[in-house]
């Protein structure tokens, strides 16, 4: 040791044994050999060998000389580095090198050598690994902490390690690198920004993607040193985010990417950074907020993220960005929702309210992405989305934009197929989304052809996939049909009907193409092309493409042959698919990237191809039906009862028998239907009979055994009933048998002989069968029928009351409570009508006599004998039967001609009958006849009287019916340009003269100059004119004006010499003229043609007579203010989402595209549906109030909408009818009636709908108060005028004192009679109603301090018309000529319009609707809600104040 020490002290270098001097004088190879021995020596030494440490001290110093550190040979440098690493290990904790510069050089040298780790296949890799392992284990670099240049050394080391790490390195290399770097951070005093950048740069996405191993290394390092490095990370983000010092680091522009990565690595690294993000979320810089939102979306949405629960303030702040004013931010939030729903179902509740608001966002893309987010989550797992979220998708199926609607519909269809059809989540999930099938089919009621086509495609691909095997496909259809709601069933039936109709159109086109070319043929082809085009999207392009397709069909026989096969009734489903494929293949050549022509033709082929139903399908359905009948089907498992399955199955077959009758022609099918005829279920037997009627035309020839079995069954049912089966049996015999005269005789004779009034049940069946035989074979039984009608039907049945009716205050009872005698009278009336319709002539004056009889029934309130034996419900039924009979006869030209004007006017009053159901059902019949173009145009004028209906929903539906009928006529005129000679009977504008004439003869219009009565007239006229004037096609406004002017130059043909009648006529003309002038800007232009007035109603104009007098009282002028008529889209009142009327002019939301996007329940005709639409619209309105920083996602209050309306008065005129009508509530009506009563019979004034003083303050413009008052009149609901008939006698007047019989309550019938004396009832309603009325009025108008003064003014206005108490009592239904004295008639004039309809929305409506007959075929179009095009049972209104 002494030698070694002296050597060391002497400065001489001691080499290990066997190692000679290492200098520049030896070769490289020799130097390497000697260095290896030195490395081996140092490797074997440990820290405890003090002698050796001293012995080799100079060698250690020598190895650190520049000669070695800068040696050109890498092997030499590597060996030297290994020696130095061991020297640091051996001499630790003190290094033998004291010079800072030397230490820096040594560590920079070692760092450079570490680059050799990059090549894992190098022979020297193990030595590089040894070097790394050594310095990491010893933490050699910690010596540099004391050096001034330590940061440079560490930074270079970090950069080197991050650059050399690669996927060739094993876990040990990775671990040693982490150990080496982590010791520097954990044990050092500080971490420089440069060093931090060196680590963080590997987290930036661009670097991360280039070197995944470097990212993993940085991730491991940060996890290891999280606690130590967190302050430096916090400082970095604080400098950049809060202080804006972006120059401190090149990574400043990547801060949000870094935050995300650091959060994913260890959330503790950002404990102090996250609050800064909350601040950034409220930045004024849109782009900065967007970046933060994108970042937080990833952080909150990550699969294992607990950030939302750990940092609730940040989560709430983030949710607030759903209402951000910047569109891309809201869009980003919505996109995030799907990830959040899928990864964090517990947050669904928080998201729901915000998604609700965004589902009504004005931006189409945002509404679209709301749907995508919800549907994406639902498709992953239905449990991830709650019912509210699914309902948002449901609402968007009625969106204004096609892209949004399409996404919502397709999303629901995919969810339905996955969970209902394929049952991927069990029965509970299937039950949860069972509403989807109904909702999707309801959309078929939309006007848009795109919607209808998409529903057809969805049905064929998702609801009943056409690619399933026939048995499976029919099972799917069978149970789907059994579980659909009534409206969806009608939609599906309509879909098949439309497809079948289009199939026939295409077949007609093919027939025309095959005919020789001629000018007539070319016109016919063009006309047929136009018809088909209307069934395709984008009719403009569709017309061009269809013309091109027609040329292809003319030139290509193969395509024509394939198309003929496709539209033939015998085409099977498989053949249809082959035909479609072949035709599209030929049309698609040559192939193009986009071929709009081919796409359009695909639409056409999809609609006409029978991909579901063929003979095999019908056979399969029959087998399913038989299984249900036998009890071997799994009906219960499918969620339907056996009875329900059988009934629905028959109904399905019945519908298909209309569209695919040929497919039923098999013995198996007919035998099964025969079995159904013998079942006890009446509905089943009825459906089977109808199927036989539709499909049995070849039974006699092709299936004689079926014929022989069927005939006795039909004869038995025709004789013994039930009544509906008797009816269908007669029609079956007519359709199936060639010898029908013989069969009819075998039925008629015994029935005719056995007519017995004492057996009403059998008599009903006999009357039904005889009536239908009379209609189908009138000549065969002409003589006995005439005798039977005159002697038995009229005298023994209609003119005789055998049994007194039950005393009741109700005006309507369910069918099963109607007395048998009344049912017989009703059937007797129908039988007469059928007999007349069969004869189709009035040669024997039978029609005239029948009409007199029917009008006598109406005159007598239904009690033809006037003996008082009939109960009120029976009288209501008979009035309805008489009114409907007249309407039915009017559809036959020979009888329409003999209906007098008085009879027509009396029939019109049925639409204002006091009984709700009478009004409703009569309006249905009226609408049905008008929409089929069977009723003459003057019957459309009756719709004007519906403005008086006290029930808001009925008025709305009446308006829909009117719109539909006007559109039907306009469409018919477009399609049939050659029918100009029938213009008088088809052009909708020609309804105006009929309306004016009808209103001039209105029994309620008594005082010619009475303001209230004239306002009533104005409401009725506006009900019609509003729709007619919504479009000014061909200058129709001027045409209508010219018609009204012309009428003033004529006289009333009904009473040409009566000055009072003519003055009424001219006054009504002036009301109409004022409406036209106030609502049109083009009325003064020249009329396109001179109108022709109906000669039956008006005399020829007197050329010497110029009637320029204004017949209106001066006060009336204030009720006409300018304004634009509302759009008449048929969906105006029910389906705003697609209607042009949806764009309401409102101050703050004029740009909001979703103003009318709301949807509602699936029952299109329900009051709830209408309410839903209004609420939804209000929600949309309020959204736009504040988009920037909405503290709550909830929709705004209603008063916001009201304020908005007040900002722009004209906006009110563009609102839908329902918006206007919303102003009148049940309480108002009830209060109105009570006020009338309490004022000792002030009758004759309507609710004055003038604006309160507060209203005037709310309107910012300077419009005159008179204008405001009139505008409120215009927008208020039609007045609820009392429509009772004048009293017959003093006896009738006296009877009014009876409390229950004649309550002045108006509106629907009381289904459940409440035993309350009239006086008590009136008093209680007065107390409750008075305050409610005020509240409702104030709410409707905004704030109403000025309401009292208006009401008192109204009361003073009415002082002139106060009647005696006896006159204030309710009078009979309106419109029958009075049988009282002239004095009594005079006293009864001017009856109140305000007391019209108390409690129109009472709970009794529910009972009444349940008791009323089922809706007609013309049901209202869908939704939600909301949803939309057809009209429900025409909701028209009644006419008197009697309690029903």
Work out the pLDDT band at 1216, boundaries 50, 70, 90.
very low
Q: Report the C-alpha gap between 778 and 677 in whole angstroms.
A: 28
Q: Is the pLDDT of residue 1356 over 70?
A: no
pLDDT at position 944, please?
93
Tokens of 377: 């989550």
Burial of 267 from C-beta contacts in 10 A (0-12 / 13-18 / 19+):
middle
pLDDT at position 931, please?
92
Closest to 1001 (Cα-Cα) out of 947, 923, 1060, 921: 1060
Max mean pLDDT among 431-445, 835-849, 1226-1240 falls in 431-445
Specify which residues 1284 forms β-bridges with. 1373
Tokens of 552: 């292809």
pLDDT at position 680, please?
81
Which helix (H) or strand (E) segment holds residue 1372: the answer is: strand 1372-1373
Q: Is the pLDDT of residue 1186 over 60?
A: no
Q: How far is CA 306 from CA 340, 343, 381, in A?
A: 11, 11, 21
Q: Is the pLDDT of residue 1334 over 60?
A: no
Q: Is the pLDDT of residue 28 over 90?
A: no
Q: Is the pLDDT of residue 464 over 90?
A: yes
DSSP string, 470-527: HHHHHHHHHHHHHHS-HHHHHHHHHHHHHHHHHHHHHHHHHHHHHSPP-HHHHHHHHH
More confident residue, 633 or 455: 455
Q: Could you tell me where the DSSP H helices lie in 56-97?
A: 57-63, 66-69, 74-91
Work out the pLDDT band at 11, boundaries 50, 70, 90.
low
Q: Is the pLDDT of residue 506 over 60?
A: yes
- Mean of pLDDT values over 24-45: 75
Q: Report the C-alpha gap between 257 and 262 in whole angstroms.
A: 9
Among the ranges given (270-284, 812-826, 1225-1239), the one the predictor scored with the smallest mean pLDDT: 1225-1239
Q: Report the C-alpha gap between 1010 and 1391 in whole angstroms.
A: 11
Q: Is the pLDDT of residue 70 over 50?
A: yes
Q: Is the pLDDT of residue 920 over 80?
A: yes
Work out the pLDDT band at 980, boundaries 50, 70, 90.
low
Instruction: Return the ∠ at Cα 1172 (arms to 1169 and 1176), rounded to 5°.
Output: 145
In total, the chain counts a number of residues equal to 1444
Q: What crossing angle do the helices spanning 682-695 and 642-659 adopt, rounded to 10°?
A: 20
Count of Cβ atoms closer than 10 Å to residue 792 Cβ:
17
pLDDT at position 1123, please?
60
- Cα end-to-end distance, the chain, whole Å: 129
Among the ranges given (432-441, 785-794, 1366-1375), the one the predictor scored with the smallest mean pLDDT: 1366-1375
Tokens of 1400: 């129109």
Q: Is the pLDDT of residue 1389 over 80?
A: no
pLDDT at position 156, please?
85
- Mean of pLDDT values over 1418-1422: 38
More confident residue, 1258 or 721: 721
Q: Report the C-alpha gap between 973 and 1211 in whole angstroms.
A: 33
pLDDT at position 535, please?
86
Instruction: Return the ∠ at Cα 837 (arms to 853 and 1096), rounded to 5°.
Output: 65
Q: Is the pLDDT of residue 1069 over 90?
A: yes
More confident residue, 979 or 235: 235
> pTM for the full model?
0.69
Count of Cβ atoms closer than 10 Å to residue 1108 Cβ:
7
Report pLDDT digits (tens) over 1223-1277: 333 344 344 434 443 443 333 333 333 333 333 333 333 333 334 333 333 333 3
The backbone torsions φ and ψ at residue 1318, rounded to the nearest 5 degrees and listed phi first, read -60, -45
Q: Kindly report whether the peptide bond that precedes residue 50 is cis, defined as omega within 30 degrees of 0.
A: no
Q: Is the pLDDT of residue 1411 over 90?
A: no
Q: Kindly report whether the peptide bond that precedes residue 367 is cis, defined as omega within 30 degrees of 0.
A: no
Residue 339: helix, strand or coil by DSSP? helix
Report pLDDT digits (tens) over 724-751: 999 999 999 998 888 888 888 888 888 8
Report pLDDT digits (tens) over 958-971: 999 999 999 999 88
pLDDT at position 1410, please?
37
More confident residue, 21 or 678: 678
DSSP string, 508-521: HHHHHHHSPP-HHH
pLDDT at position 855, please?
92
pLDDT at position 1185, please?
35
């Amino acid at each position: 040791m002494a030698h070694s020490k002296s050597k060391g002290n002497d400065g001489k270098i001691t080499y290990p044994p066997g190692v000679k001097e290492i200098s520049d004088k030896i070769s490289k190879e020799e130097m390497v050999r000697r260095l290896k021995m030195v490395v081996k020596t140092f490797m074997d030494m440990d820290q405890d060998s003090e002698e050796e440490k001293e012995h080799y001290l100079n060698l250690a110093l020598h190895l650190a000389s520049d000669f070695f550190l800068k040696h050109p040979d890498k092997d030499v440098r590597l060996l030297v580095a290994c020696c130095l690493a061991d020297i640091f290990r051996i001499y630790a904790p003190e290094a033998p090198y004291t010079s800072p510069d030397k230490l820096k050089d040594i560590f920079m040298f070692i760092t450079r050598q570490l680059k050799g780790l990059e090549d894992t296949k190098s022979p020297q890799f193990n030595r590089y690994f040894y070097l790394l392992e050594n310095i990491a284990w010893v933490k050699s670099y910690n010596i540099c902490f004391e050096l001034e240049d330590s940061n440079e050394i560490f930074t270079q080391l970090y950069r080197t390690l991050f650059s050399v790490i690669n996927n060739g390195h094993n876990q040990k290399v990775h671990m040693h690198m982490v150990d080496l770097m982590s010791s520097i951070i954990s044990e050092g005093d500080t971490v420089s920004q440069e060093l931090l950048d060196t680590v963080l740069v590997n987290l930036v996405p661009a670097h991360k993607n280039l070197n995944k191993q470097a990212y993993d290394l940085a991730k491991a390092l940060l996890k290891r040193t999280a606690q130590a490095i967190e302050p430096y990370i916090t400082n970095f983000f604080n400098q950049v985010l809060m202080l804006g010092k972006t120059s401190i680091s090149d990574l400043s522009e990547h801060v949000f990417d870094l935050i995300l990565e650091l959060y994913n690595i260890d959330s503790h690294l950002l404990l102090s950074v996250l609050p800064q993000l909350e601040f950034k979320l409220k930045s004024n810089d849109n782009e900065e907020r967007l970046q933060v939102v994108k970042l937080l979306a990833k952080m909150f949405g990550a699969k294992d993220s607990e950030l939302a629960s750990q940092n609730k303030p940040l989560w709430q702040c983030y949710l607030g960005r759903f209402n951000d004013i910047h569109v891309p931010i809201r869009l980003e939030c919505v996109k995030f929702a799907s990830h959040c729903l899928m990864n964090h179902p517990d947050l669904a509740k928080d998201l729901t309210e915000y998604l609700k608001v965004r589902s009504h966002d004005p931006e189409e893309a945002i509404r679209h992405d709301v749907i995508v987010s919800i549907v994406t989550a639902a498709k992953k797992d239905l449990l991830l989305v709650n019912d509210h979220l699914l309902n948002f998708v449901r609402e968007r199926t009625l969106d204004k934009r096609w892209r949004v609607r399409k996404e919502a519909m397709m999303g629901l269809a995919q969810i339905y197929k996955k969970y209902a059809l394929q049952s991927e989540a069990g029965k509970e999930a299937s039950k949860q989304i069972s509403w989807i099938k109904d909702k999707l089919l309801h959309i078929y009621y939309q006007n848009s052809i795109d919607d209808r086509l998409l529903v057809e495609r969805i049905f064929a691909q998702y609801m009943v996939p056409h690619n399933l095997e026939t048995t499976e496909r029919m099972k799917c259809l069978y149970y789907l049909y059994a579980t659909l709601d009534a409206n969806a069933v009608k939609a599906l039936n309509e879909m098949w009907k439309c497809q079948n109709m289009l199939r026939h159109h295409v077949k007609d086109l093919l027939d025309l193409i095959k005919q020789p070319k001629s000018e007539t043929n070319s016109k016919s082809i063009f006309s047929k092309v136009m018809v088909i085009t209307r069934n395709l999207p984008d009719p403009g392009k569709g017309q061009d493409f269809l013309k091109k397709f027609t040329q292809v069909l003319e030139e290509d026989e193969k395509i024509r042959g394939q198309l003929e096969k496709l539209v033939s009734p015998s085409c099977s489903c498989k053949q249809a698919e082959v035909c479609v494929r072949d035709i599209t293949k030929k049309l698609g050549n040559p192939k193009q990237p986009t071929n709009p022509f081919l796409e359009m033709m695909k639409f056409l082929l999809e609609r006409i191809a029978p991909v579901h139903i063929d003979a095999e399908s019908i056979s399969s359905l029959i087998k399913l039906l038989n299984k249900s009948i036998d009890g071997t089907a799994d009906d219960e498992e499918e969620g339907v009862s056996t009875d329900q399955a059988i009934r629905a199955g028959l109904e399905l077959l019945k519908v298909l028998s209309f569209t695919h009758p040929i497919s039923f022609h098999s013995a198996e099918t007919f035998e099964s239907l025969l079995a159904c005829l013998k079942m006890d279920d009446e509905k089943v037997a009825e459906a089977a009979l109808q199927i036989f009627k539709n499909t049995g035309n070849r039974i006699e020839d092709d299936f004689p055994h079926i014929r022989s079995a069927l005939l006795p069954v039909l004869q038995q049912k025709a004789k013994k009933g039930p009544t509906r089966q008797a009816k269908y049996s007669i029609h079956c015999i007519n359709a199936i048998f060639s010898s029908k005269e013989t069969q009819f005789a075998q039925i008629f004779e015994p029935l005719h002989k056995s007519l017995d009034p004492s057996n009403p049940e059998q008599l009903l069946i006999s009357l039904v069968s005889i009536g239908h035989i009379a209609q189908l074979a009138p000549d065969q039984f002409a003589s006995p029928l005439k005798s039977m009608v005159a002697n038995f039907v009229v005298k023994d049945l209609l003119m005789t009351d055998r049994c007194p009716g039950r005393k009741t205050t109700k005006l309507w009872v369910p069918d099963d409570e109607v007395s048998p005698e009344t049912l017989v009278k009703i059937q007797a009336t129908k039988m007469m009508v059928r007999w007349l319709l069969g004869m189709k002539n009035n040669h024997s004056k039978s029609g005239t006599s029948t009409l007199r009889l029917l009008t006598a029934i109406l005159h007598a309130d239904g009690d033809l004998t006037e003996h008082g034996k009939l109960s009120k419900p029976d009288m209501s039924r008979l009035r309805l039967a008489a009114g409907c009979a007249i309407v039915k006869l009017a559809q036959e030209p020979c009888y329409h001609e003999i209906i007098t004007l008085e009879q027509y006017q009396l029939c019109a009053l049925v639409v204002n009958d006091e009984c709700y159901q009478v009004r409703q059902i009569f309006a249905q019949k009226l609408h049905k006849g008008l929409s089929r173009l069977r009723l003459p145009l003057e019957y459309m004028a009756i719709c004007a009287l519906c403005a008086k209906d006290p029930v808001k929903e009925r008025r709305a539906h009446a308006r829909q019916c009117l719109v539909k009928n006007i559109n039907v006529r306009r469409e018919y005129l477009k399609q049939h340009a050659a029918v100009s000679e029938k213009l008088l009977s088809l052009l909708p504008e020609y309804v105006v003269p009929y309306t004016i004439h009808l209103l001039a003869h209105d029994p309620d219009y008594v005082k010619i100059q009475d303001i209230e009565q004239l306002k009533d007239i104005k409401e009725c006229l506006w009900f019609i004119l509003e729709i007619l004037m919504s479009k000014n096609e061909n200058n129709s406004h001027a045409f209508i004006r010219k018609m009204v002017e012309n009428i003033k130059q004529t006289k009333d043909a009904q009473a040409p010499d009566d000055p009072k009648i003519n003055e009424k006529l001219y006054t009504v003309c002036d009301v109409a003229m004022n409406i036209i002038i106030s609502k049109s800007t083009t009325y003064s232009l020249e009329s396109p043609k001179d109108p022709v007035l109906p000669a039956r109603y008006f005399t020829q104009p007197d050329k010497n007579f110029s009637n320029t007098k204004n017949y209106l009282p001066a006060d009336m002028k204030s009720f006409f203010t300018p304004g634009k008529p509302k759009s008449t889209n048929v969906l105006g009142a029910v389906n705003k989402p697609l209607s042009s009327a949806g764009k309401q002019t409102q101050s703050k939301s004029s740009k909001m595209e979703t103003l009318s996007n709301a949807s509602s329940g699936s029952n299109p005709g329900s009051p709830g549906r209408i309410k839903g639409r209004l609420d939804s619209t209000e929600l949309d309105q309020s959204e736009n109030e504040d988009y920037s920083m909405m503290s709550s996602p909830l929709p705004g209050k209603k008063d916001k909408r009201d304020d908005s309306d007040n900002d722009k008065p004209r906006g009110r005129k563009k609102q839908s009818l329902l918006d206007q009508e919303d102003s009148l509530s049940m309480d108002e009506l009830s209060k109105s009636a009570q006020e009338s009563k309490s004022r000792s019979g002030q009758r004759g004034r309507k609710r004055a709908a003038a604006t309160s003083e507060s209203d005037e303050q709310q309107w910012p413009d300077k419009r005159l108060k008179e204008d405001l008052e009139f505008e409120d009149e215009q927008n208020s609901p039609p007045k609820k005028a009392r429509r009772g008939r004048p009293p017959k006698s003093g006896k009738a007047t006296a009877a009014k004192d009876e409390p229950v019989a004649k309550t002045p309550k108006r509106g629907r019938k009381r289904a459940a009679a409440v035993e309350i004396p009239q006086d008590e009832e009136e008093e209680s309603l007065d107390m409750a109603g008075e305050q409610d009325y005020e509240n409702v009025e104030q709410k409707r108008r905004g704030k109403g301090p000025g309401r009292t003064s208006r009401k008192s003014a109204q009361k003073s206005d009415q002082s002139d018309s106060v009647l005696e108490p006896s006159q204030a009592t309710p009078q009979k239904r309106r419109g029958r000529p009075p049988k009282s004295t002239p004095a009594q008639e005079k006293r009864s004039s001017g009856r109140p319009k305000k007391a019209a309809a108390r409690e129109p929305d009472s709970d009794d409506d529910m009972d009444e609707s349940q008791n009323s007959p089922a809706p007609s075929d013309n049901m209202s179009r869908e939704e939600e809600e909301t949803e939309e095009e057809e009209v429900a049972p025409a909701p028209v209104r009644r006419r008197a104040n009697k309690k029903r």
